[in-house]
A and B are shown apart, each in its own frame.
Chain A
Amino acid sequence: MVSFISTKTVIKKIALLGLVAIILAGGLYYYEKNRLFLENFRWYYLRTYRDVVIYRAREFRFRFLATVNHLFGPEIYAKPEAEKKETILTLSVPVLVYHGLSPTANRFDITPEGFRDHLFELKKAGYQTITLSQMKGFLTGNLDLPQKSFLLTFDDGRKDSYYPTDPILKDLGFNAVMFISTQASLNDDQDKDSQYYLNREELKKMVESGRWEIGSHAIQEDGGFVTINSYGEKRNFLSNRQWLIQENRLEDEEAYVARVVRELAGSKKQIEDALDIKVTAFSYPFSDFGQQTVNFPPSRQIINEAVSNIYDLAFYQTWPHDRGFSQNHRDEQTSMLKRMEPYPAWNGEFLTSLLENGQSKNIYFEDDFSLNQGWRRSWGEMRLSSGQLEIRSSEQTTGSFALLDGTYDWTDYRLTLSIDWLKGSHFSLIGRFRDESNYYSCTYSDNSVRVEKQIDGQKVLLKEAKNENVLSKNNLTVGASFWQDEIGCLVGGESVVSVVDNDNAYLSGGVAVKGWDKTLGNSLIKIKHFTSEPAIQNENYKPIRLAEML
């Protein structure tokens, strides 16, 4: 070193440069840490980030004020002793599915604002996400979950379902499941690294964050479609046998099964190998578990069997008008778990109310129809307005069917309905509803009241009472009672018919109402009031065993 330089200057300069170097290195470190985000950045992602910043600022302000209050506030603001709250356990878990976020909403995409609104509202309402293993624990009965638990999932593994959502999840303390197609995301050919789908590196980072679990959305060779005939028509890959062009025939069943297993087990293995995790969940591509098959009806059975063998949990997607409850219960098949896709048009409050309505209701339930507390249309038309629930057949249906969500777990209950029966030859009060082919019903017609049972889609008449007097159409009060194996139908609070079904198939199940007429579009019922209460063994009943009847 040169001798004319004073050490003091050198030290000063080294310190200054060191500072600069630290700042630059810090910048580089920050860049490297956020490289994936920065490289995949889209401007509209900022729309969620903005909300996150606002949320954090509010949170900070809240905490600050709380601390100030705590330190300097008068005694009355002192924090009350934490009440011992008994955690209410949930009986059902809803699962949400999103596909991605885009600047404008469309069939598969929700806007950043919409998504933020959904999740923030859920958080505000006290909802908390669960993990797949918690879900499994709940379904198998090994784990109790608090009320307001839900599972958040994303299908397809798109970049825009990770980058803009992750900060929200982070802030809200949520976690989510990403279902990826391994063909799109874990392609070994690095050159095919997509700008659209998440890649290996990103998935690894997601797993490392602890906020994300990865599930399989199958391999989806050839984009999820197979050719099914010589015309080159393409259909869903999982539920159809493939047309072999060279051999001019459909693949045989063995080859089909092998292909399904390859899609299911192969994708699982690929993910497990690539990310060093355990994959336990599957989501049916196109929500097709075989029901959409064109050329191979047994596929439903095959797929179900294969999925059950390979995965602990498998999810399909329900639509708002699917005939059933919106949430998943303990005794249901774990290979057929329901997920609902929140529509972009819904706001967070509405979504929250949907989830809340889907939760198991108290059996003391009263509905004056000022708000929808969980009535879901299965078919026909349903309208809830001005304190009435209107169920009418559409131009194409003979009747209509409405279901009360969140009643799946009900066991013994008595229903009382005040209705205007305006059109139609029959209407039914349905109880112990498990699915559309398994339930009990009280069916009222002009001249009879019948207790019926649907068992695997077969209708069984349990007992019929003929009416001497024709039922009044307006301000009719009808009811149904389910107590253990006793089923009874009531008119005007009086039991008109009751039966003990000693072949008691269903001891629990939900509530629904159905109207019917043999002419299209000619059924209309207005329900004005609905109450439910626990059923008691009715002394008026004259239990008649079926055997005695015969």
Chain B
Amino acid sequence: MIAKLKKAYNLYSLRNINLWIIFYFLVYLVLVIKLITIKEIDNNILFGLYSLGVSLYLLSRFVIAYFYEVDNKKMRVDYLPTISFGVPAKNEEDNIRETILKMAKSDYPKNKFDIIAVNDGSTDNTLQEMLVAKEIAARHGAVVKVIDWKENRGKREGMAECVKMSKKDLVIFVDSDSFVNQSTARNLVKYFSDPQVVAVAGQAYVTNENKNYLTKMQSVRYYIAFKAYKAAEAMFNSVTCCSGCCSAYRRQAVMEVLADWGQQRFLGIACTYGDDRSLTNFLLRRGYKTLFAEEAICHTMVPDNFRQFMRQQLRWKKSWVRESLIASTFIWRRNIIMSLSFYLGFILPLAAPIIVLRALVWYPYMTGLVPCYYLLGLMLMSLIYGLYYYIHTRDRKWFYGVLFAVFYTLVLIWQLPWAIINIRDSRWGTR
């Protein structure tokens, strides 16, 4: 009896049950508020439905991701294909050595992997750092190939070069400012025991997460974007973006799409960013499976000043719009829930500026009332966002997650129309 009680208590404390109760209570509150809102505050049923749709979309991410818990027994853990790490780098003298050395220290048979570093026309000491890293790695028995381009050709070309140069089964792309763990390679590789799987995204954490409020917010955002959003997509074998900071690709499959991907043009302009999302998209179109590996961890740097952050976000938004448009032409062939949530996830942010305008400007202006329900709903959703992070990490930064959700809804939303207008402008802005 006592043992049973103890077990129950352990389960209780282990599973953060009290926190989950709060979490579900908030979910419940949101639903209640949305139901009221639909009926009363917004006489327009479309706006009410939108509001309900946003909540349901967000919540569905959490719920579906909850099911994405892979069972090691179901895959061949002894599956050890040969792999290449691919690192295209430009002007990355600060980090590139460590990036390469971290990969070299991977807990993987030394004869089964190599590292391909592409110096993409750097104007600083990146090449020298690469060569130093190569020497150190060689002492540990890891092979590093350095490719030196005198002039800049772009990240996509760099990635393509890695694929072409590699003779291995898989290519793991790692950003030049990202650092992998020892176990990352192993954890990524095991997913490829299913021959249909051609790309697996790792979970990215933020290295400079405690630098300032911006990096703190991004840290929470990264966590949820991977842990919830990618996991939810992976549930249906359709991760739409195996991100550049750390993802493994099956070389054979990439070779099939390499030419198309390398020469991708959109609205007559060569695509120079969103390479990772684009590559994933090409693979998805062919019906391959793309997955997410929660346990394959890498650490990456995020912009720590507002200007850089906004530029990065704009770039991401542009590529998101472009690739989502492309994906929307074929994603319906995949799982029904996946396609429903994909289209929902595409339409909701596009309509968001109108909704926010209506709720926060037009409605108060016309009625003279404070949009209490809207704000309350927003706050609660943000709280749920932050709480989700807290339950999983017990990290005090959760409040920045709340902040981020509000910030996203009120500020970042407005980047989207701007991104659409400037979608043909292919400059990187910075970096």
Alpha-carbon distance A6/B72, docked complex (angstroms): 9
Given contacts A10-B67, A28-B35, contact A4 B28 (CB under 8 A): no
Residues 29-84 of B contacting A (Cβ, < 8 Å):
31-32, 35, 63, 66-71, 73-75
Flag whether B107 is at the interface (Cβ < 8 A): no
Whole-angstrom CA separation of A321 from B63 in the bound complex: 70
Known: A2-B234, A4-B75, A4-B194. A9 touches B69 (CB 8 A): yes
**Cα–Cα distance between A3 and B27 once the two chains are bound (Å):** 30
Cβ distance A85 to chain B, nearest Cβ, rounded Å: 51
Interface band, chain B: 20 to 34
Contacts of A32 in B (CB 8 A): 35
The residues of A that contact B191 with a CB separation of less than 8 Å are: 4
Query: 0/1 per residue, A14-32, Cβ < 8 Å to B?
Result: 1001001001100110011
Across the interface, A24 reaches (CB within 8 A) one of B27, B70, B194, namely B27
Query: How many A-B contacts are there with CB distance less than 8 Å?
Result: 53
Distance in angstroms from A104 CB to nearest chain B CB is 30
Which residues in window 441-499 of A have CB below 8 A to B?
A: none
A1 within 8 A of B: yes
Chain B residue at smallest Cβ distance from A16: B66
Q: Is B235 an interface residue (CB 8 A)?
A: yes
Q: Which residues of A contact B184 (CB under 8 A)?
A: none
B236 within 8 A of A: yes
Contacts of B66 in A (CB 8 A): 13, 17
A5 on the B face (CB < 8 A) = yes
CB within 8 Å for A2 and B236 given contacts A13-B66, A17-B66, A28-B32: yes
Number of contacting residues on A, CB 8 A? 18
User: Whole-angstrom distance from the CB of B374 to the nearest CB of chain A?
Assistant: 18
Whether A2 lies near B71 (C-beta < 8 A) is no
Distance in Å: Cβ of B79 to nearest Cβ of chain A: 12
Assess the B67–A3 pair: CB atoms within 8 A: no
Assuming the contacts A5-B74, A28-B32, asked whether A20 and B24 have C-beta atoms less than 8 A apart, the reply is yes
Please tell me if the beta carbons of A27 and B28 are within 8 angstroms of each other in the complex: yes
17 contacts between A and B (CB under 8 A): A1-B235, A1-B335, A3-B74, A4-B191, A4-B194, A4-B291, A5-B68, A5-B69, A5-B74, A6-B71, A9-B67, A10-B67, A13-B69, A23-B24, A24-B28, A28-B32, A31-B32
A3, A9, A27: the one contacting B194 at CB < 8 Å is A3
Contacts of B27 in A (CB 8 A): 24
Q: Tell me if B237 counts as interface (CB < 8 A to partner A).
A: yes
Q: Are B67 and A13 in contact (CB under 8 A)?
A: yes
Query: Which residue on A lies nearest to B74, using beta carbons?
Result: A4
**Residues on the B chain within 8 Å of A28, using CB:** 28, 31-32, 35
Extra 4 A-B pairs, beta carbons < 8 Å, given A1-B235, A5-B70, A28-B35: A2-B237, A9-B67, A9-B71, A13-B67
- Inter-subunit contact A24/B291 (CB<8 Å): no
A20 CA to B31 CA, complexed, in Å? 14
Q: Which residues of B contact A4 (CB under 8 A)?
A: 70-71, 74-75, 191, 194, 291
The 10 A-B residue pairs with the shortest CB-CB distance, nearest first, are: A4-B70, A6-B71, A4-B74, A24-B28, A4-B75, A2-B237, A13-B67, A27-B28, A20-B24, A3-B194
Complex contact B28–A2 (CB within 8 A): no
Q: Do A2 and B70 form a contact, CB below 8 Å, given A20-B24, A24-B24?
A: yes
| Smallest beta-carbon distance A205→chain B, Å | 16
Of listed A1, A13, A14, residue having the most chain B CB within 10 A: A1
Query: Considering the chains assembled together, what is the distance between the CA atoms of A4 and B191 in angstroms?
Result: 8
- B residues near A6, Cβ cutoff 8 Å: 71, 73-74
Closest Cβ–Cβ distance, residue B179 to chain A (whole Å): 26
Chain B neighbourhood of A5, CB < 8 A: 67-71, 74
- CA of A157 to CA of B73 in the docked complex: distance in angstroms? 68
Give, as a whole number of angstroms, the nearest-CB distance from A1 to chain B. Answer: 7
In whole angstroms, how far apart are the Cα atoms of A3 and B31 in the complex?
33
- Asked whether, in the complex, the Cβ of B35 is within 8 Å of the Cβ of A2, the reply is no
CB distance from A36 to the nearest CB of B (A): 13
Would you give the shortest CB distance from A543 to chain B, in whole angstroms? 79
Min CB distance A6 to B, Å, is 4
Between A1, A2, A3, A5, the greatest number of chain B beta carbons within 10 A of the residue's beta carbon is seen for: A2
Asked if B32 contacts A2 (CB within 8 A), the reply is no
> Assuming A24-B28, A24-B31, A28-B35, is B73 touching A2 (CB within 8 A)?
no
In whole Å, how far is B98's beta carbon from the nearest beta carbon of chain A? 32
A5 and B67 alpha carbons, distance in the complex (Å): 8
A341 to chain B, nearest CB (A): 36
Taking CB atoms and an 8 Å cut-off, the chain A residues in 143-159 that contact chain B are: none
A2, B235: Cβ atoms closer than 8 Å: yes
- CA–CA, A13 to B70, complex, Å? 13
Q: Are B236 and A1 in contact (CB under 8 A)?
A: yes
Taking CB as reference atom, which chain A residue is nearest B20? A20
**What B residues does A24 contact at CB under 8 A?**
24, 27-28, 31
Chain B contacts with A in 182-198, Cβ cutoff 8 A = 191, 194
* Residue in chain B with minimal CB distance to A39: B36
